[in-house]
Amino acid sequence: MRMIYLDIDSLRPDHMSCYGYKRQTTPNIDKIASEGVRFNSCYTASSPCVPSRASFMSGRFGINHGALTHWGPGGEFQYPDGDGHSEEVPFFTRYLRNAGYKTVTFSTFGDRHHAWWYFAGWNEVHTHSLKEGNENADEVNGAVIPWLKQHGKEENYFLHIQYWDPHTFYTYPIEYMERWKDEPLKEFPDEATIASQQQDSFPRSAQFLHWGNKFPATMPAQITNRADLKHAIDGYDGGISYMDKYVGELLDTLRELGIEDDVCFIISADHAESMGEQGIYLEHASATEAVHHIPLIIKVPGVTQPGQVIDGFVYNVDVIATITDMVGLQIPVGWDGKSFLSTLKGEHWQGRDYLVMDHALYVCQRAVRDEKWYFIRTYHPGLYLHFDEVTLYDMVNDPNQLRNVAADYPEIVREMDHRLSSWQHEQSRKPGYKVDPMQKVLETGPWKYLKPEDWVRRLEKAGWQSEANIIRNQYKSEALQPAYDG
């Protein structure tokens, strides 16, 4: 089987035309989706980049693989000690390779985040530049297309291709942003919502969209109204459409090779992106719906039926388990993912009843998601002090998550808290469990890219003295240690 996995950074499904977005951002991906299965409720178990791709490599939740943040305490990838490799928790890449598949990656992820474990098990690792994820799709394809022309007709390979274009900063040719200048926006966030966000003073908020003074023309300076919002959305959609152009180049190459109809495609993302939800723009800074809900499209020649749509909940680790099942391998006992191969074959399949997700880079949060409710427990808010300790959103009646209704539904809060606690205890009973990496982050605080003193100076420079004082007083002794049941 020839498999191509398109790993697209920061991609929201609701900005893809195959998911119903009115802008035709992804015509080439749409073609693949029309020939396969589209999943409406796929979520990354842990965000952002490092935790998610550690799950991709390990088949495990962040609480088990250990890399719940980008570096330092709580960011250490956990693997059984000693020489040799584990059969219970093998690297996904080694497991496929041991079964006779050539495993190949075109990605600068490991280099960007110093994630050396990412390089384990591949037959071939192509970093193709030293730009650390700041390369555009044309540069990625500049390395991928020659490889395909030389090796594409071979059998039994897993080719992983990572595109970064929807991730800030948007450095593609500006005409891909300008193509949306006459296209309307979705209704959210409206002018009233944007007006209410003008008092926010956290990173990537409406007034503080950038950490510094340098940013490309594809991004606005601030979000003060819907015109600024359009600038931001046009910039994001430009990155998506530029990436999709080069997906089209991949398809053209496969067609030239005569294997277009023989390739299995898996298309997904490491995480998505906030676009005004919780007042956050163009960032992946929390365990929220906007960050954790990711696309998933799978086309398997001879297996999937064209145009299938699946609504059941799945994790990204379930995708890894399904690929493993699809090639006839047993799912390792130490992995957390569950195969949904049966649904690809058109058989009855329900999906998970609910999901538990977490984030520990900018904030320390865990979330529980079911069909109606989205529950978030914030253990440490970092610089995002507007997050309540407990948040509950009614996703049916409030899909944009504008109102925390935790106080109105104490019984739902108790149920979701029970689910979270049960999940934590279930993980702690697994063989090889060491310590919850969330606790490690709590001990030092979620201060990676920005520390409190950095943001205090940023606020003071902008004349927001009272807001700077709030941060200074909150963290003057670095003593914030919330009660934590882990």
Tokens of 412: 């739902």
pLDDT at position 84: 86
CA distance 122 to 98: 10
Q: In what order do the strands lie in the sheet with 364-369?
A: 46-47, 355-359, 364-369, 373-380, 390-394
Tokens of 461: 């420079």
Q: Write out residues in the chain with pLDDT < 50, as ranges.
A: 479-483
Whose CA is closest to 168, among 181, 177, 159?
A: 177
Tokens of 449: 């890219």
pLDDT at position 482: 45
State the virtual CA torsion across 451, 49, 417, 354 in degrees, nearest 10.
160
Topology of the domain comprising 356-474: Arylsulfatase, C-terminal domain (3.30.1120)
pLDDT at position 432: 84
Alpha helices in 113-189 (DSSP H): 137-151, 175-178
CATH code of 2-350, in short, is 3.40.720.10
Can you tell me whether residue 380 is helix, strand or coil? strand
pLDDT at position 279: 98
Enumerate residues 6+ apart whose C-beta is below 8 A from 105.
93, 122, 124, 125, 126, 159, 160, 161, 162
Point out which residues pair with 8 in neighbouring strands. 163
Single-letter residue type at 47: S
Omega cis (within 30) before 215: no
Q: Where are the domains of the chain?
A: 2-350, 356-474
Single-letter residue type at 42: C
pLDDT at position 388: 97
The 10s digit of each residue's pLDDT in 17-69 is 999 999 999 999 999 999 999 999 999 999 999 999 999 999 999 999 999 99
Could you tell me if 363 and 381 are in contact, meaning their C-beta atoms sit under 8 angstroms apart?
yes
- Helix, strand, coil share (%) of the chain residues, nearest 5: 35, 15, 45
pLDDT at position 478: 57
Tokens of 401: 């998550």
